[in-house]
Amino acid sequence: MIFILAIPVACIAWTVTKEEVFREAREFCVGKSQKCRTLLQRKFFYLFTCEYCFSHYVTILILAITNYTLIYDGWKGYLLAGFSIIWIANVYMSLYNLLRIDLKKQKIITKKEEQNLPPD
């Protein structure tokens, strides 16, 4: 179950902090995280730009929805489940990032090879 719950956490955290669909909101948050007067405001906006930080809040939401606990009942089980889900979700995001980098690299190599082919 824990590996399943980490999938939507990783998906939501990655999408909000990295994908084009949220670019404008992310750029707004980046600006606010650098220019706000108070530390609390800067840190609040930074949470929406960092997939690791944002995964904590997504995990809290997922745990509230599912009531999932790990090993123990109550707050101890939520704490263990939360940090475990965060860790697994971040492993998923790291693997996804490596996969994307490899795909981009292959795309660039293919494009260069196509450019070097003699005309038909």
Per-residue pLDDT at 104: 81
- Mean pLDDT across 85-93: 95
Q: Model confidence at 101, in pLDDT bands (50, 70, 90)?
A: confident
The pTM score is: 0.77
Sign of the dihedral defined by the CA atoms of residues 64, 66, 67, 71, in that order: negative
Whose structure tokens read 């994908």?
19
Task: Please list the alpha-helical segments (H only) found in 19-50.
Answer: 23-35, 39-46
- Mean pLDDT across 35-42: 92
Q: Model confidence at 48, in pLDDT bands (50, 70, 90)?
A: confident
Residue 67 has pLDDT above 70, yes or no: yes
Q: Give the alpha-carbon dihedral of 105, 51, 92, 9, to 10 degrees.
A: -140
Lowest mean pLDDT among 22-26, 49-53, 68-72, 107-111: 107-111
